[in-house]
Structure 1
């Protein structure tokens, strides 16, 4: 009988982000992926890229999911009705658990400029109504892993003994890897995880496939293995590459979508709207904008 072994991940599909352009809230927008078929991306629901100055995203509710917002450029001002407020800079991450209900806003500090990637992460049915919370993964607390020509910011999970600062409700691993030209790295990924690798900059080799900026490669869970790895390499000799890689155990549960709410049934979606309008999420804050530091 052959013992299970480690395997190298390959990509099962590659998708391109879709440029949408400006709207009433943002200066520009692109859709990396959306939950057209949640089973294909489970436990991840969506990844959206936004560039905004004003107005940004004023007070709005969420329930039943987590939003993971990575600041690519500029400064993101944020606040919620739990009393949290602050500003995050490039490379920093806001991990918000909406749980049973939260009202928050996301704006460009000073109405200047914020460029973010926001991922929606599903919560298990048993955690849909968990208490809401905010986690700011700032540069000061961001665990980092370094190898020759490689820097990895570890958001969640444990990579080569380095554990991310995010407290998660479900097995998730999340990193952003920056690779110098011709540098490479073998990323360890739990074999039961589905992963996506989104290319933020450059032209990397991911799981044996060359991708360009804006593309996302997917790898489904593997069976019969004790470990798995994903090969990352910057193949352009003149340009570094930056790749966001998130992986998680699929929930394999029904998904019901309703605007800012993600539940398991449409009845629960209706209840979420009813609760919000009845004030069960709390009052919409009247908090002032952050004071300018000048």
Structure 2
């Protein structure tokens, strides 16, 4: 079956937000303001932090996918999970019915992260919680002629990524040497985004630079579709984060750290958290210095 070639529907540039009480610097790559345009994805933020970082806080009804760009990320939750992730590692957290967790810079030194919020359908909003640490060493790499696909979720060329999903999501980090081309396949029903981490590329016929995100919407009637990636000529490789998923097409209500289908469900989430139904806020110590 021939793959339908995709084009880019829109290109956006990340918005610098500067420091705040939690981070040294911040940028917004994907805004939650129009979830109908980004469905099933909600938000993509970039954070640089040393101290305090993101101390204990709750989530419900969403999955967070955190990629460590640089530094070391210390994490923990109220189910007893704890650890440290380094450059290139990814953590896929299913908040489901409710979780309390924290994300800090190990030793209060530095962490540079990208965090993606993936929506959950109504019948999976209150599923059980789960942490998946998808380390660089545990992910399959598919290499071609000047191309490299670091597979996080979904399937490429019959090879499956390690992530377990509540809603089918494909995700990869793709690196292309200067002037190289790759046709990346995604299901035709999916909406996909491509965020350029380094370098510059032509994506689906459109030029996309570092710090920009390109969107390509579902292709009606197509089973398989292809996104053409071609790195510009230059002295360094280009790297792009690619995620795709079928739109859920349900109402989205966001209340702070909670994502539900109605305002009443958001209100209930706050009541449940404050009444202790998420569990107690942990007294877990910081990871030991080594």
Distance 2:36 2:190 in 1: 13
Distance 1:121 1:249 in 2: 11
CA contact (8 A) 2:189 2:223 kept: no
1:211 aligned to 201, 208, 211, which one? 208
Question: Corresponding residue for 2:245?
Answer: 248
CA contact (8 A) 1:5 1:225 kept: no
Answering whether residue 129 of structure 2 is matched by residue 122 of structure 1, we say no
2:199 aligned to 194, 198, 202, which one? 202
Distance 2:148 2:2 in 1: 28
> What TM-score results when the alignment is normalised by the length of structure 1?
0.97
1:40 aligned to 37, 56, 60, which one? 37
CA contact (8 A) 1:144 1:162 kept: no
Question: Corresponding residue for 1:113?
Answer: 110
Distance 1:212 1:264 in 2: 35
**Equivalence map 1:1-294=2 (5 Å):** 5-293=2-290
CA contact (8 A) 1:176 1:242 kept: yes
CA contact (8 A) 1:5 1:224 kept: no
Question: 1:72-126 CA deviation, whole Å, 9 max, x = no partner?
Answer: 1111110000100011111110000000000000011111111000000000100
Distance 1:142 1:210 in 2: 29
SS in 2 for 1:167: coil
CA contact (8 A) 2:201 2:209 kept: yes
CA RMSD in angstroms, aligned pairs only: 1.0
CA contact (8 A) 1:202 1:236 kept: no
Question: 1:53-85 CA deviation, whole Å, 9 max, x = no partner?
Answer: 111000000000000001111111100001000
Which ranges of 4 or more aligned residues in structure 1 deviate by more than 6 Å? none
Question: 1:120-169 CA deviation, whole Å, 9 max, x = no partner?
Answer: 00001000000011000012211111111111111100011221100001
Question: 1:159-203 CA deviation, whole Å, 9 max, x = no partner?
Answer: 112211000011110001111111221101100000000011111
Distance 1:225 1:40 in 2: 19
SS in 2 for 1:186: strand
Distance 1:264 1:248 in 2: 19
Question: 1:186-239 CA deviation, whole Å, 9 max, x = no partner?
Answer: 101100000000011111111111111110000000012231111112113212
SS in 2 for 1:271: helix
Deviates more, 1:92-101 or 1:169-178: 169-178
Distance 1:201 1:76 in 2: 21
Distance 1:162 1:184 in 2: 20
Distance 1:98 1:133 in 2: 7
1:5 CA displacement? 4.6
